[in-house]
Amino acid sequence: MIHLFVRPVIVVSLLAALTGCWFSERIEEFGGPTMGSTYSIKYVHTSNSPSLEQLKEETQAILAEVDEQMSTYRNDSLIEQFNQAPAGTCQTMPAAVLELLQLGRELHEQSQGAFDLTLEPLLDLWGFGPKAQAEQVPSPAQVAAARARTGMQYLRSEGQQLCKDADVQLDFNSIAAGYTVDRITQRLEQLAVTSYLVEVTGELKASGLKPDGQPWRIGIEAPQSGERVAQRVLALNGYGVSTSGDYRNYFEEGGRRYSHTLDPTTGAPIEHKLAAVTVVDRSTLRADGLSTLLMVLGEERGWQFAQQHGIAAFFVSRADDAFVTRGTKAFEQLFAEGKQQ
């Protein structure tokens, strides 16, 4: 299975309540374990809907396919076969892998290296990767050696072939869940399910209205380690949501906190006051990647990047013993009071 240790665990709280059975249409749901966490599907069942059993089978087939293609936690996945191969290797890959690589390359270039899909050696070194031995602070020499085995510039595609010009490892954990959400919602719509809320390891997308005519609502979770509290409630219709944060997956050593989010330009955990950032986009895949990118850039550079690129993002930063929140122009316009998406 794909374990998303580089992501917060269920960073968005689901607030979609089930409606009563007095409506002619009804909400049904199913879910289960996936990617080291869970998935959840809620949808409006109508006379045109397939059976719950069929939808569950269709969903699990997609989850299994993503696992077989992109998991870094199983040696027989396509991506791990590629990672274990020597430099100079080319391997035929499905379109999905090449699609994710292309998005990763675009985000890498736009952010001047803040987003990088080749950080697995560094994640393992710091204790957050699939082959990590223990959470620890490595030496500068160890960090330098691991950084030498990273770099998006060493990856290229030739038709359906994925090639690497150095001994790098490709890791889609920062965008695989968002991609999976989009795949599931696309399949639901093909099967005439038009109102749904799909969540995979905290990344989610909602569309349509519930039987009572209300939109699906989700809560952006406050970045605190104790009780889960919704900091802002969003009504969604046709948008995906991704949150990245450093408030759950971290370790402390010598009185210092080390986040699971690494800065590719330093090879070390991020060091800034941004605690969490939520991105809303039509593409859950893109929202997933952008939330990681902005988290790496931090509260000031990330804010500037989001504003410049018209990204709907909600920032939560630490300030002494409290948190300060602000939404970008695109975010506030999208969720202006009374506005329907």
Domains identified in the chain and CATH numbers: 74-164 (1.10.3980.10)
> 134-138, 210-214, 294-298, 305-309 — which is least confidently predicted?
134-138
Q: Token pair of 168, please?
A: 């790098």
Mind listing the pLDDT tens digit for each residue in 3-57? 443 344 334 444 444 444 444 689 999 999 998 889 999 999 999 999 999 999 9
**What is the distance between the alpha carbons of residues 23 and 9, in angstroms, rounded to a whole number?**
34
Percentages helix, strand, coil for the chain, rounded to the nearest 5? 30, 30, 40
pLDDT in tens, 170-202: 999 999 999 999 999 999 999 999 999 999 999
- pLDDT tens digits, 227-265: 666 678 899 999 999 999 876 677 788 778 778 899 999
0.75 exceeded by pTM: yes
Specify the DSSP class assigned to residue 223.
Answer: S
pLDDT, residue 21, reads 44
Sign of the dihedral defined by the CA atoms of residues 36, 151, 112, 274, in that order = positive
Tokens of 239: 């948008």
Q: Is 278 a residue whose pLDDT tops 70?
A: yes
Above 50 in pLDDT, residue 300? yes
pLDDT, residue 213, reads: 93
Q: Quick check: 301 pLDDT over 70?
A: yes
From residue 209, alpha-carbon distances to 12, 21, 59, 117, 340 in Å are 20, 16, 21, 36, 11
Q: What is the 3-state secondary structure (H, E, C) of 136-180?
A: CCCCHHHHHHHHCCCCHHHEEEECCEEEECCCCCCCCCCCHHHHH
- pLDDT value at position 167? 94
pLDDT value of residue 133: 74
Query: What does the pLDDT look like over 195-232, one tens digit per residue?
Result: 999 999 999 999 999 999 999 999 887 776 556 666 78
Contact 315, 299 (CB under 8 A): yes
- Assign 321 a pLDDT band (cuts: 50, 70, 90): confident
Which residue in 181, 170, 171, 226 sits closest to 203, CA to CA? 181
